[in-house]
Structure 1
Amino acid sequence: MTPGAAGLLLCRIEDIPDGHSRGFDPGKTGRDTMFIVRRGGRVYAYRNACPHYDRARMAWKKNEFLNGDRSHIMCAAHGALFQIEDGACVIGPCLGQRLSPVSITLRDGCVWMTEPDL
């Protein structure tokens, strides 16, 4: 991760295989505080916290934020399922709530974080 005038460079889009996810620790806290899901040429970024219980980390193992068929984001602590495109919970104890999005941009094949507070 490299800081720059346009934000913080997280990775190249090709570093995340299509249909997969990857966690990041931009604030160097020692744990992934956010994650990105890639679908084709689009990427979606969220804070690594379940809205049901903010301290619950989403991944069931390193860089695994999706359910088995990779159709939804899944909270490993609660089994809640979230839509990839907007973070809305569709199954679980936080039904009707959403994951907190992280501002990113995709430029020249790279993913940049524009939100500095993570």
Structure 2
Amino acid sequence: MQKYFLCHYDALSEGQSKGFSLGDNTTGTDNVFAVMKGGEIYVYSNICPHRGINLDWQKDQFLDPDGALIQCASHGALFLIETGECIAGPCSGDALTPVPVEYAQDGLYVLMPE
């Protein structure tokens, strides 16, 4: 596993999502995203399990209009923030890939496969 610095704690706000590019990602797209809900931070790979495409339609836009669920911009699938489970859409029963988070004094780190 490779450890990457994700962000400082103040970069994430309650009910907000934010995408991040890690490592040598030169595609111009974010390969992970984070959501803060209930004071907890959830990080997932930015890949829809249905079509293997990015979930966001605009920079840092991973949530539905109410900010209650993660939403795929391509086909509208909805995922629970806490588990990544798809609860509506063509990938119902599938789930987003969680990314392990490590809390440190200087901020958040993620562990990614090499």
Show the counterpart of 2:30.
32
Aligned match of 2:90: 93
- Structure 1 runs of 4+ aligned residues shifted over 4 Å read none
Match of 1:115 in 2: 112
Q: How many residues align?
A: 111
The match for 1:12 is: 8
**What whole-Å deviation, never above 9, does each CA across 1:31-74 have from its counterpart, x for those lacking one?**
101101111431101111100011x2111210010000000000
Q: Output the TM-score relative to the length of structure 2.
A: 0.89
Partners in 2 of 1:14 and 1:39 — Cα distance? 14
Task: Tell me the CA shift for residue 14 of structure 1.
Answer: 1.3
The alignment-based identity, stated in percent, is 41
Deviations 1:1-28 (A, max 9, x none): xxxxx92211012111111011011032
Q: Which moved more, 1:105-114 or 1:11-20?
A: 105-114
Name stretches of at least 5 consecutive residues in structure 1 with no aligned partner: 1-5
Aligned CA RMSD, in angstroms, stands at 1.6
Match of 1:70 in 2: 67
Shift of 1:109: 6.0
Ranges in structure 2 where 5+ consecutive residues have no aligned partner: none
